[in-house]
Chain A
Protein backbone atom coordinates (compact mmCIF):
# COMPACT_ATOMS: atom_id res chain seq x y z
CA UNK A 1 0.00 0.00 0.00
CA UNK A 2 1.47 3.38 -0.99
CA UNK A 3 1.87 6.34 1.40
CA UNK A 4 -1.22 8.08 0.03
CA UNK A 5 -3.33 4.93 0.25
CA UNK A 6 -2.29 4.51 3.89
CA UNK A 7 -2.95 8.20 4.49
CA UNK A 8 -6.55 7.78 3.24
CA UNK A 9 -7.07 5.17 6.00
CA UNK A 10 -5.52 7.36 8.72
CA UNK A 11 -6.77 6.46 12.21
CA UNK A 12 -9.09 9.23 13.40
CA UNK A 13 -7.37 9.20 16.80
CA UNK A 14 -4.31 10.70 15.12
CA UNK A 15 -6.52 13.48 13.73
CA UNK A 16 -8.02 14.09 17.19
CA UNK A 17 -4.51 14.17 18.75
CA UNK A 18 -3.23 16.70 16.21
CA UNK A 19 -6.26 18.93 16.89
CA UNK A 20 -5.84 18.69 20.69
CA UNK A 21 -2.12 19.57 20.47
CA UNK A 22 -2.75 22.57 18.20
CA UNK A 23 -5.58 23.90 20.40
CA UNK A 24 -3.64 23.46 23.65
CA UNK A 25 -0.51 25.08 22.21
CA UNK A 26 -2.49 28.08 20.92
CA UNK A 27 -4.30 28.54 24.25
CA UNK A 28 -1.17 28.18 26.39
CA UNK A 29 1.08 30.25 24.13
CA UNK A 30 -1.16 32.85 22.41
CA UNK A 31 0.38 34.65 19.48
CA UNK A 32 -1.78 37.76 19.85
CA UNK A 33 -3.01 38.17 16.27
CA UNK A 34 -4.56 41.58 15.56
CA UNK A 35 -8.37 41.73 15.43
CA UNK A 36 -10.12 44.16 13.08
CA UNK A 37 -13.79 45.04 13.57
CA UNK A 38 -16.48 44.03 11.08
CA UNK A 39 -19.17 46.44 9.94
CA UNK A 40 -22.02 44.46 11.54
CA UNK A 41 -20.33 44.38 14.97
CA UNK A 42 -19.61 48.11 14.75
CA UNK A 43 -23.30 48.71 13.95
CA UNK A 44 -24.36 46.87 17.11
CA UNK A 45 -21.82 48.78 19.23
CA UNK A 46 -22.88 52.15 17.78
CA UNK A 47 -26.56 51.37 18.38
CA UNK A 48 -25.90 50.84 22.11
CA UNK A 49 -23.65 53.89 22.18
CA UNK A 50 -26.45 56.15 20.94
CA UNK A 51 -28.84 55.21 23.76
CA UNK A 52 -29.44 57.97 26.32
CA UNK A 53 -28.32 57.39 29.93
CA UNK A 54 -30.92 55.59 32.03
CA UNK A 55 -32.40 53.66 29.09
CA UNK A 56 -33.60 50.15 29.86
CA UNK A 57 -32.14 47.41 27.65
CA UNK A 58 -33.52 43.86 27.50
CA UNK A 59 -30.81 41.20 27.33
CA UNK A 60 -32.36 38.11 25.75
CA UNK A 61 -30.19 35.26 27.05
CA UNK A 62 -31.68 32.63 24.73
CA UNK A 63 -28.80 30.20 24.64
CA UNK A 64 -27.45 27.16 26.38
CA UNK A 65 -24.03 26.28 27.78
CA UNK A 66 -22.86 25.16 24.34
CA UNK A 67 -22.95 28.78 23.18
CA UNK A 68 -21.12 30.18 26.19
CA UNK A 69 -17.65 30.57 24.61
CA UNK A 70 -19.13 32.63 21.76
CA UNK A 71 -21.89 34.55 23.49
CA UNK A 72 -20.93 35.17 27.14
CA UNK A 73 -17.97 37.44 26.14
CA UNK A 74 -20.35 39.56 24.03
CA UNK A 75 -22.94 39.63 26.83
CA UNK A 76 -20.31 40.80 29.30
CA UNK A 77 -18.93 43.40 26.86
CA UNK A 78 -22.41 44.81 26.21
CA UNK A 79 -22.99 45.10 29.96
CA UNK A 80 -19.62 46.84 30.42
CA UNK A 81 -20.42 49.29 27.61
CA UNK A 82 -23.91 49.84 29.00
CA UNK A 83 -22.88 50.37 32.62
CA UNK A 84 -20.29 52.93 31.50
CA UNK A 85 -23.17 54.81 29.88
CA UNK A 86 -25.48 54.29 32.89
CA UNK A 87 -27.83 52.07 30.97
CA UNK A 88 -29.97 49.61 32.92
CA UNK A 89 -30.46 45.97 32.03
CA UNK A 90 -33.19 43.38 32.47
CA UNK A 91 -32.03 39.88 31.50
CA UNK A 92 -33.98 36.71 30.89
CA UNK A 93 -35.16 34.51 28.08
CA UNK A 94 -37.05 31.66 26.51
CA UNK A 95 -34.32 29.05 26.98
CA UNK A 96 -34.08 27.14 30.23
CA UNK A 97 -30.51 28.28 30.93
CA UNK A 98 -31.38 31.97 30.48
CA UNK A 99 -31.21 32.75 34.19
CA UNK A 100 -27.92 30.90 34.62
CA UNK A 101 -26.31 32.67 31.67
CA UNK A 102 -27.44 36.08 32.90
CA UNK A 103 -26.07 35.27 36.34
CA UNK A 104 -22.68 34.26 34.89
CA UNK A 105 -22.41 37.62 33.13
CA UNK A 106 -23.59 39.68 36.14
CA UNK A 107 -21.18 37.84 38.47
CA UNK A 108 -18.27 38.64 36.13
CA UNK A 109 -19.17 42.27 35.39
CA UNK A 110 -20.60 43.59 38.68
CA UNK A 111 -17.22 43.72 40.52
CA UNK A 112 -16.02 46.17 37.83
CA UNK A 113 -18.95 48.47 38.70
CA UNK A 114 -19.49 48.30 42.50
CA UNK A 115 -21.91 51.24 42.33
CA UNK A 116 -24.32 49.22 40.17
CA UNK A 117 -26.90 47.41 42.29
CA UNK A 118 -29.09 44.42 41.63
CA UNK A 119 -32.70 45.50 41.43
CA UNK A 120 -31.80 49.06 40.44
CA UNK A 121 -29.38 48.72 37.51
CA UNK A 122 -29.77 45.03 36.68
CA UNK A 123 -32.47 42.40 37.14
CA UNK A 124 -32.36 38.74 36.15
CA UNK A 125 -35.91 37.50 35.52
CA UNK A 126 -34.61 34.11 34.38
CA UNK A 127 -36.58 31.62 32.31
CA UNK A 128 -40.20 30.64 32.00
CA UNK A 129 -41.65 28.00 29.66
CA UNK A 130 -43.64 29.08 26.63
CA UNK A 131 -41.18 30.05 23.92
CA UNK A 132 -42.53 32.79 21.70
CA UNK A 133 -45.79 32.90 23.67
CA UNK A 134 -43.68 34.13 26.59
CA UNK A 135 -42.42 36.92 24.33
CA UNK A 136 -45.97 37.80 23.32
CA UNK A 137 -46.96 37.95 26.97
CA UNK A 138 -43.97 40.20 27.70
CA UNK A 139 -45.17 42.65 25.05
CA UNK A 140 -48.16 43.44 27.29
CA UNK A 141 -47.16 42.38 30.81
CA UNK A 142 -43.68 41.20 31.80
CA UNK A 143 -44.60 40.72 35.43
CA UNK A 144 -47.40 38.30 34.55
CA UNK A 145 -45.17 36.53 31.99
CA UNK A 146 -42.61 35.76 34.71
CA UNK A 147 -45.25 35.03 37.34
CA UNK A 148 -44.24 38.03 39.42
CA UNK A 149 -40.81 36.74 40.52
CA UNK A 150 -37.24 36.98 39.30
CA UNK A 151 -34.72 34.16 38.79
CA UNK A 152 -34.04 34.06 42.54
CA UNK A 153 -37.68 34.05 43.62
CA UNK A 154 -37.76 37.73 44.66
CA UNK A 155 -41.04 39.52 43.91
CA UNK A 156 -40.65 41.79 40.90
CA UNK A 157 -42.71 44.52 42.56
CA UNK A 158 -39.95 44.86 45.18
CA UNK A 159 -37.31 45.63 42.53
CA UNK A 160 -37.26 49.34 41.59
CA UNK A 161 -36.11 48.69 38.01
CA UNK A 162 -39.05 46.35 37.39
CA UNK A 163 -41.49 49.07 38.43
CA UNK A 164 -40.30 50.92 35.33
CA UNK A 165 -40.11 47.84 33.12
CA UNK A 166 -43.64 46.50 32.89
CA UNK A 167 -43.42 45.35 29.27
CA UNK A 168 -41.29 45.56 26.16
CA UNK A 169 -42.90 48.94 25.48
CA UNK A 170 -40.75 50.29 28.33
CA UNK A 171 -37.41 49.19 26.90
CA UNK A 172 -35.40 51.21 24.41
CA UNK A 173 -33.33 48.38 22.96
CA UNK A 174 -33.16 44.61 22.78
CA UNK A 175 -29.85 42.78 22.58
CA UNK A 176 -30.46 39.09 22.04
CA UNK A 177 -28.03 36.21 22.40
CA UNK A 178 -29.08 33.16 20.39
CA UNK A 179 -28.01 29.62 19.57
CA UNK A 180 -31.15 28.43 17.81
CA UNK A 181 -34.94 28.45 18.02
CA UNK A 182 -36.69 30.26 19.60
CA UNK A 183 -34.40 33.12 18.66
CA UNK A 184 -34.06 36.38 16.79
CA UNK A 185 -36.92 35.66 14.38
CA UNK A 186 -39.35 35.51 17.28
CA UNK A 187 -38.12 38.85 18.64
CA UNK A 188 -38.44 40.38 15.16
CA UNK A 189 -41.93 38.92 14.68
CA UNK A 190 -43.42 39.70 18.07
CA UNK A 191 -41.48 42.70 19.35
CA UNK A 192 -39.32 44.46 16.78
CA UNK A 193 -41.95 44.57 14.05
CA UNK A 194 -45.06 45.49 16.09
CA UNK A 195 -43.41 47.79 18.66
CA UNK A 196 -40.50 49.15 16.62
CA UNK A 197 -37.97 48.39 19.36
CA UNK A 198 -34.51 48.13 17.75
CA UNK A 199 -32.92 44.68 18.04
CA UNK A 200 -29.28 43.63 17.82
CA UNK A 201 -28.25 40.01 17.82
CA UNK A 202 -25.26 38.03 18.94
CA UNK A 203 -25.34 34.49 17.59
CA UNK A 204 -23.08 31.51 17.25
CA UNK A 205 -20.96 31.39 14.09
CA UNK A 206 -23.04 28.68 12.41
CA UNK A 207 -26.15 30.91 12.66
CA UNK A 208 -24.51 33.93 11.02
CA UNK A 209 -25.41 32.95 7.40
CA UNK A 210 -29.11 32.59 8.18
CA UNK A 211 -29.19 35.81 10.23
CA UNK A 212 -27.49 38.04 7.63
CA UNK A 213 -30.70 38.72 5.64
CA UNK A 214 -32.26 40.35 8.72
CA UNK A 215 -29.30 42.73 9.05
CA UNK A 216 -29.54 43.71 5.39
CA UNK A 217 -33.28 44.31 5.69
CA UNK A 218 -32.78 46.50 8.78
CA UNK A 219 -34.81 44.22 11.05
CA UNK A 220 -31.62 43.77 13.07
CA UNK A 221 -29.55 46.90 13.68
CA UNK A 222 -26.35 44.90 14.25
CA UNK A 223 -24.96 41.38 14.37
CA UNK A 224 -22.12 40.09 16.54
CA UNK A 225 -21.26 36.75 14.98
CA UNK A 226 -19.52 33.95 16.84
CA UNK A 227 -16.32 34.17 18.79
CA UNK A 228 -14.84 36.53 16.18
CA UNK A 229 -17.64 38.99 16.77
CA UNK A 230 -17.25 38.63 20.53
CA UNK A 231 -13.51 39.37 20.22
CA UNK A 232 -14.32 42.41 18.07
CA UNK A 233 -16.74 43.68 20.71
CA UNK A 234 -14.09 43.20 23.39
CA UNK A 235 -11.74 45.33 21.23
CA UNK A 236 -14.41 48.03 20.97
CA UNK A 237 -15.03 48.19 24.74
CA UNK A 238 -11.26 47.85 25.30
CA UNK A 239 -11.61 44.97 27.77
CA UNK A 240 -9.91 41.92 26.20
CA UNK A 241 -11.34 38.69 27.57
CA UNK A 242 -12.01 35.07 26.72
CA UNK A 243 -13.04 35.70 23.14
CA UNK A 244 -9.81 37.55 22.37
CA UNK A 245 -7.85 34.78 24.09
CA UNK A 246 -9.71 32.13 22.10
CA UNK A 247 -9.21 33.70 18.67
CA UNK A 248 -5.68 32.36 18.25
CA UNK A 249 -6.87 28.83 19.02
CA UNK A 250 -9.78 29.22 16.59
CA UNK A 251 -7.47 30.60 13.88
CA UNK A 252 -5.07 27.66 14.12
CA UNK A 253 -7.95 25.16 14.35
CA UNK A 254 -9.36 26.54 11.08
CA UNK A 255 -5.91 26.31 9.48
CA UNK A 256 -5.54 22.69 10.58
CA UNK A 257 -9.00 21.76 9.22
CA UNK A 258 -8.14 23.43 5.87
CA UNK A 259 -4.87 21.51 5.83
CA UNK A 260 -6.73 18.24 6.48
CA UNK A 261 -9.12 18.97 3.62
CA UNK A 262 -6.25 19.78 1.22
CA UNK A 263 -4.16 16.75 2.20
CA UNK A 264 -7.19 14.48 2.06
CA UNK A 265 -8.02 15.66 -1.45
CA UNK A 266 -4.42 15.36 -2.65
CA UNK A 267 -4.46 11.77 -1.45
CA UNK A 268 -7.82 11.20 -3.12
CA UNK A 269 -6.62 12.49 -6.50
CA UNK A 270 -3.31 10.60 -6.32
CA UNK A 271 -4.97 7.28 -5.42
CA UNK A 272 -7.78 7.89 -7.92
CA UNK A 273 -5.18 8.59 -10.63
CA UNK A 274 -3.29 5.37 -9.78
CA UNK A 275 -6.40 3.22 -9.78
CA UNK A 276 -7.42 4.83 -13.09
CA UNK A 277 -4.04 3.94 -14.62
CA UNK A 278 -4.15 0.30 -13.43
CA UNK A 279 -7.69 -0.40 -14.79
Chain B
Protein backbone atom coordinates (compact mmCIF):
# COMPACT_ATOMS: atom_id res chain seq x y z
CA UNK B 1 0.00 0.00 0.00
CA UNK B 2 2.99 2.25 0.63
CA UNK B 3 3.86 2.02 -3.05
CA UNK B 4 0.45 1.60 -4.60
CA UNK B 5 -1.45 4.13 -2.46
CA UNK B 6 0.25 7.33 -3.68
CA UNK B 7 0.25 6.07 -7.28
CA UNK B 8 -3.47 5.29 -7.13
CA UNK B 9 -4.22 8.68 -5.56
CA UNK B 10 -2.19 10.42 -8.24
CA UNK B 11 -4.00 8.48 -10.97
CA UNK B 12 -7.45 9.37 -9.59
CA UNK B 13 -6.57 13.09 -9.29
CA UNK B 14 -5.05 13.09 -12.78
CA UNK B 15 -8.11 11.42 -14.28
CA UNK B 16 -10.41 13.96 -12.59
CA UNK B 17 -8.44 16.84 -14.13
CA UNK B 18 -8.34 15.23 -17.57
CA UNK B 19 -12.07 14.41 -17.59
CA UNK B 20 -13.07 17.91 -16.46
CA UNK B 21 -10.74 19.52 -19.03
CA UNK B 22 -12.07 17.63 -22.02
CA UNK B 23 -15.66 16.74 -21.07
CA UNK B 24 -18.58 18.35 -19.31
CA UNK B 25 -18.78 16.87 -15.79
CA UNK B 26 -20.26 19.35 -13.29
CA UNK B 27 -19.89 17.03 -10.30
CA UNK B 28 -16.22 16.37 -11.01
CA UNK B 29 -15.67 20.09 -11.73
CA UNK B 30 -16.23 20.81 -8.03
CA UNK B 31 -13.64 18.16 -7.12
CA UNK B 32 -11.21 19.70 -9.59
CA UNK B 33 -11.81 23.13 -8.07
CA UNK B 34 -10.86 21.68 -4.70
CA UNK B 35 -7.74 20.04 -6.18
CA UNK B 36 -6.77 23.43 -7.69
CA UNK B 37 -7.00 24.99 -4.22
CA UNK B 38 -4.79 22.22 -2.79
CA UNK B 39 -2.27 22.89 -5.57
CA UNK B 40 -2.18 26.62 -4.80
CA UNK B 41 -1.64 25.91 -1.11
CA UNK B 42 1.04 23.31 -1.87
CA UNK B 43 2.83 25.80 -4.14
CA UNK B 44 2.97 28.31 -1.33
CA UNK B 45 4.37 25.62 0.98
CA UNK B 46 6.92 24.69 -1.70
CA UNK B 47 8.24 28.24 -1.40
CA UNK B 48 8.57 27.70 2.35
CA UNK B 49 10.46 24.44 1.76
CA UNK B 50 12.82 26.30 -0.59
CA UNK B 51 13.36 28.93 2.09
CA UNK B 52 14.30 26.33 4.70
CA UNK B 53 16.60 24.52 2.29
CA UNK B 54 18.37 27.74 1.32
CA UNK B 55 18.79 28.68 4.98
CA UNK B 56 20.28 25.24 5.78
CA UNK B 57 22.80 25.44 2.92
CA UNK B 58 23.97 28.94 3.71
CA UNK B 59 24.03 28.56 7.50
CA UNK B 60 26.25 25.50 7.02
CA UNK B 61 28.50 27.58 4.77
CA UNK B 62 28.71 30.34 7.37
CA UNK B 63 29.41 27.92 10.23
CA UNK B 64 32.17 26.16 8.32
CA UNK B 65 33.50 29.46 6.88
CA UNK B 66 33.65 28.04 3.38
CA UNK B 67 34.73 30.20 0.44
CA UNK B 68 32.25 33.01 -0.12
CA UNK B 69 30.66 32.70 3.35
CA UNK B 70 30.45 36.50 3.56
CA UNK B 71 27.96 36.50 0.67
CA UNK B 72 25.96 33.86 2.55
CA UNK B 73 25.60 36.33 5.44
CA UNK B 74 24.32 38.99 3.02
CA UNK B 75 21.85 36.49 1.60
CA UNK B 76 20.58 35.42 5.03
CA UNK B 77 20.20 39.04 6.20
CA UNK B 78 18.25 39.93 3.05
CA UNK B 79 16.08 36.82 3.15
CA UNK B 80 15.22 37.02 6.85
CA UNK B 81 14.79 40.80 6.66
CA UNK B 82 12.27 40.58 3.82
CA UNK B 83 10.48 37.68 5.49
CA UNK B 84 10.10 39.39 8.88
CA UNK B 85 9.16 42.77 7.41
CA UNK B 86 6.75 41.15 4.96
CA UNK B 87 4.94 39.45 7.83
CA UNK B 88 4.32 42.80 9.53
CA UNK B 89 2.60 44.45 6.54
CA UNK B 90 -0.94 43.87 5.29
CA UNK B 91 -0.18 43.27 1.60
CA UNK B 92 2.56 43.13 -1.01
CA UNK B 93 1.45 46.60 -2.10
CA UNK B 94 2.33 48.21 1.24
CA UNK B 95 4.37 51.34 0.38
CA UNK B 96 7.28 50.52 2.74
CA UNK B 97 7.51 46.93 1.52
CA UNK B 98 7.28 48.16 -2.08
CA UNK B 99 10.10 50.62 -1.42
CA UNK B 100 12.33 47.85 -0.06
CA UNK B 101 11.46 45.61 -2.99
CA UNK B 102 11.80 48.27 -5.70
CA UNK B 103 15.14 49.59 -4.43
CA UNK B 104 16.82 46.18 -3.99
CA UNK B 105 15.28 43.20 -5.79
CA UNK B 106 14.13 45.01 -8.95
CA UNK B 107 17.48 46.74 -9.77
CA UNK B 108 19.47 43.59 -8.91
CA UNK B 109 17.21 41.46 -11.10
CA UNK B 110 17.55 43.95 -13.97
CA UNK B 111 21.33 44.08 -13.50
CA UNK B 112 21.70 40.31 -13.82
CA UNK B 113 20.11 40.45 -17.27
CA UNK B 114 21.90 43.65 -18.27
CA UNK B 115 25.38 42.16 -17.85
CA UNK B 116 24.52 39.43 -20.36
CA UNK B 117 25.36 41.74 -23.26
CA UNK B 118 29.01 41.82 -22.18
CA UNK B 119 29.22 38.04 -21.94
CA UNK B 120 27.59 37.74 -25.38
CA UNK B 121 30.07 40.18 -26.88
CA UNK B 122 32.99 38.31 -25.30
CA UNK B 123 31.67 34.92 -26.42
CA UNK B 124 31.03 36.27 -29.94
CA UNK B 125 34.65 37.33 -30.27
CA UNK B 126 36.37 34.42 -28.54
CA UNK B 127 34.20 31.40 -29.31
CA UNK B 128 32.06 31.86 -32.43
CA UNK B 129 34.22 30.22 -35.11
CA UNK B 130 33.18 29.05 -38.57
CA UNK B 131 34.58 25.56 -38.40
CA UNK B 132 31.88 23.86 -40.50
CA UNK B 133 29.42 24.68 -43.29
CA UNK B 134 26.54 24.60 -40.79
CA UNK B 135 28.32 27.15 -38.61
CA UNK B 136 28.68 29.40 -41.65
CA UNK B 137 24.94 29.17 -42.41
CA UNK B 138 24.18 29.91 -38.74
CA UNK B 139 26.49 32.93 -38.79
CA UNK B 140 24.96 34.37 -41.98
CA UNK B 141 21.41 33.90 -40.66
CA UNK B 142 22.39 35.39 -37.27
CA UNK B 143 23.96 38.45 -38.89
CA UNK B 144 20.90 39.03 -41.10
CA UNK B 145 18.47 38.71 -38.18
CA UNK B 146 20.63 40.81 -35.85
CA UNK B 147 20.73 43.61 -38.44
CA UNK B 148 17.09 43.17 -39.42
CA UNK B 149 15.81 43.42 -35.84
CA UNK B 150 17.40 46.85 -35.34
CA UNK B 151 16.86 50.06 -37.24
CA UNK B 152 20.33 50.08 -38.83
CA UNK B 153 19.47 47.07 -41.02
CA UNK B 154 17.02 49.11 -43.09
CA UNK B 155 19.65 51.80 -43.56
CA UNK B 156 22.15 49.29 -44.92
CA UNK B 157 19.70 47.66 -47.33
CA UNK B 158 15.93 47.51 -47.77
CA UNK B 159 16.29 43.75 -48.37
CA UNK B 160 17.62 43.00 -44.86
CA UNK B 161 14.23 43.40 -43.10
CA UNK B 162 12.60 41.25 -45.82
CA UNK B 163 15.21 38.50 -45.43
CA UNK B 164 14.82 38.72 -41.64
CA UNK B 165 11.06 38.35 -41.94
CA UNK B 166 11.49 35.32 -44.23
CA UNK B 167 13.98 33.66 -41.85
CA UNK B 168 11.66 34.22 -38.86
CA UNK B 169 8.45 33.21 -40.63
CA UNK B 170 9.63 30.22 -42.66
CA UNK B 171 12.61 28.15 -41.47
CA UNK B 172 12.46 29.37 -37.87
CA UNK B 173 8.72 28.81 -37.49
CA UNK B 174 8.95 25.40 -39.15
CA UNK B 175 11.75 24.32 -36.83
CA UNK B 176 10.10 25.72 -33.69
CA UNK B 177 6.81 24.10 -34.62
CA UNK B 178 8.57 20.74 -34.83
CA UNK B 179 10.33 21.32 -31.52
CA UNK B 180 7.08 22.37 -29.82
CA UNK B 181 5.15 19.36 -31.11
CA UNK B 182 7.97 17.02 -30.16
CA UNK B 183 8.31 18.50 -26.69
CA UNK B 184 4.55 18.32 -26.18
CA UNK B 185 4.43 14.65 -27.22
CA UNK B 186 7.30 13.99 -24.83
CA UNK B 187 5.43 15.80 -22.07
CA UNK B 188 2.28 13.73 -22.70
CA UNK B 189 4.32 10.56 -22.58
CA UNK B 190 6.00 11.60 -19.34
CA UNK B 191 2.67 12.59 -17.78
CA UNK B 192 1.18 9.19 -18.67
CA UNK B 193 4.20 7.47 -17.11
CA UNK B 194 3.67 9.42 -13.88
CA UNK B 195 -0.09 8.78 -13.85
CA UNK B 196 0.17 5.03 -14.31
CA UNK B 197 3.06 4.75 -11.88
CA UNK B 198 5.95 3.81 -14.17
CA UNK B 199 7.75 7.01 -13.17
CA UNK B 200 8.01 7.24 -9.37
CA UNK B 201 10.75 9.78 -8.77
CA UNK B 202 8.24 12.28 -7.35
CA UNK B 203 7.37 9.78 -4.58
CA UNK B 204 10.71 10.35 -2.92
CA UNK B 205 12.65 7.14 -3.25
CA UNK B 206 9.71 4.70 -3.03
CA UNK B 207 10.64 1.68 -5.19
Contacts and interface: CB of A to CB of B under 8 A. Distances in A.
B118 interface: yes
A212 B176 contact: yes
A160 interface: no
A21 B92 CA distance: 39
A223 to B, nearest CB: 10
A129 B93 CA distance: 15
A129 B44 contact: yes
B128 interface: yes
A34 B180 CA distance: 35
Contact of A260 (B108, B124, B155, B169): B124
B98 to A, nearest CB: 7
By size class, the interface of chain A is 35 or more
A127 to B, nearest CB: 7
A133 B36 contact: yes
Contacts of B101: 100
Contact of A65 (B93, B105, B128, B152): B105
B41 to A, nearest CB: 9
A205 B143 CA distance: 15
Majority secondary structure of chain A interface residues (helix, strand, loop or mixed): helix
B59 interface: no
B149 A228 contact: yes
B205 interface: no
Contacts of B3: none
A149 B91 contact: yes
Interface string B94-117: 100010011001111110111001
Interface string A147-174: 0011111000000000000000000000
A116 interface: no
A34 B151 CA distance: 7
Contact of A153 (B90, B110, B146): B90
Contacts of A99: 92-93
B109 A66 contact: yes
Contacts of A69: 110
B92 A151 contact: yes
Majority secondary structure of chain B interface residues (helix, strand, loop or mixed): helix
B40 A128 contact: yes
Contacts of A192: none
B121 A256 contact: yes
B23 interface: no
A68 B143 CA distance: 25
B70 to A, nearest CB: 24
Nearest to A208: B168
Interface string A239-258: 00000000110111111111
A213 B178 CA distance: 10
Nearest to B45: A129
A195 to B, nearest CB: 13
A34 B158 CA distance: 13
Nearest to A127: B92
Contact of B125 (A65, A151, A260): A260
B193 interface: no
A210 interface: yes
B169 A33 contact: no
Nearest to B110: A65
27 contacts: A12-B122, A12-B126, A15-B122, A15-B125, A16-B122, A36-B161, A39-B165, A66-B109, A67-B113, A97-B109, A99-B92, A133-B36, A133-B39, A152-B94, A153-B91, A209-B168, A209-B172, A209-B176, A210-B179, A226-B149, A251-B152, A254-B147, A254-B149, A255-B147, A263-B125, A264-B128, A265-B128
Interface of B: 33, 36, 39-40, 43-44, 47, 90-94, 98, 101-102, 105-110, 112-114, 117-118, 120-122, 124-126, 128-130, 139, 143, 146-147, 149-152, 154-155, 161, 165, 168-169, 172-173, 176-177, 179-180
